[in-house]
Amino acid sequence: MLIYGASGSVGTYAVQLAKYFGAQVTGVCGTANLELVTSLGADKVIDYTKEDFTKNGETYDVIFDAVGKGPFSGCMRSLKKEGIYLQAVAAPALMVRMRWTSMISSKKLIGGTATPETENLIYLKELVEAGKIKPVIDRRYPLEQTVEAHRYVEKGHKKGNVVITIL
Ligand SMILES: NC(=O)c1ccc[n+]([C@@H]2O[C@H](COP(=O)([O-])OP(=O)(O)OC[C@H]3O[C@@H](n4cnc5c(N)ncnc54)[C@H](OP(=O)(O)O)[C@@H]3O)[C@@H](O)[C@H]2O)c1
């Protein structure tokens, strides 16, 4: 499995969950996050500023674009014939391309906004409590600095999560 954008909030959980379920994981992230993604259990890490993973000849059963910035055509080339493509960002143009590709190929493409279900959230909470997965927290801001927190997140380079503290 390849996880593109492995250092963001979605990506850091995706790497850990994929490893928990026994997948062989390649994480794609920037230079500053190589160590972080390795520490989360990724078997291989590719620096997107230095290597284009779509050109190294590797193919994957599953490609998860966790930040919506992966190259769509390249991802399709690097996906096995019966592979599964997962997309975290439901941009309309991308959804149309995904729909079309799933109609003309044997690949399965899944995207859209997740519907949180209580039982899944409880399952994740139990994994965290058991130490099987850990939240990655980049920064904490007090409630009154929520604007600054948003400004930081909107730069698009946070590592894992940013927390607003209420108490
Ligand atoms: N579908 C859903 O239900 C759902 C749920 C939650 C979130 N989302 C969406 O998922 C996306 C990800 O959210 P997030 O909070 O995990 O992270 P984010 O804040 O959007 O992304 C932060 C991470 O992205 C990496 N990144 C930035 N540009 C990149 C690039 N060109 N290639 C690879 N990595 C890159 C950054 O690493 P570097 O600093 O190394 O670049 C950073 O670690 C958002 O668009 C969000 O709206 C969807």
Q: What's the pLDDT at 159? A: 97
Work out the average pLDDT over 100-125.
95
Distance (Å) from CA 145 to ligand 1 centroid: 22
Rounded-to-integer distance, Cα 63 and Cα 150, Å:
29
pLDDT tens digits for 43-68? 999 999 999 999 999 999 999 999 99
Of 3, 12, 2, 1, the C-alpha closest to 158 is: 12
Q: Is 130 helix (H, G, I), strand (E, B) or coil?
A: coil
Structural domains of the chain ordered from first start: 2-111 (3.40.50.720), 118-165 (no CATH)
Of 39, 46, 43, the C-alpha closest to 23 is: 43
Report which ligand 1 atom has the smallest distance to the Cα of 111.
1
CB-based contact 75:5 (threshold 8 Å): no
Q: What's the pLDDT at 87? A: 97
Report which ligand 1 atom has the smallest distance to the Cα of 88.
1
Q: What's the pLDDT at 167? A: 81
Q: Is the CB of 111 under 6 A from ligand 1?
A: no
DSSP string computed for 76-118: HHHEEEEEEEEES---HHHHHHHHHHHHHSS-EEEES-----H
Q: What's the pLDDT at 43? A: 98
Confidence (pTM): 0.96
Q: What's the pLDDT at 58? A: 97
Task: Quote the mean pLDDT of the chain.
Answer: 97
Q: Is the CB of 114 under 6 A from ligand 1?
A: yes
Q: What's the pLDDT at 33? A: 98
Q: Specify the DSSP class assigned to residue 8.
A: B
CB-based contact 3:156 (threshold 8 Å): no
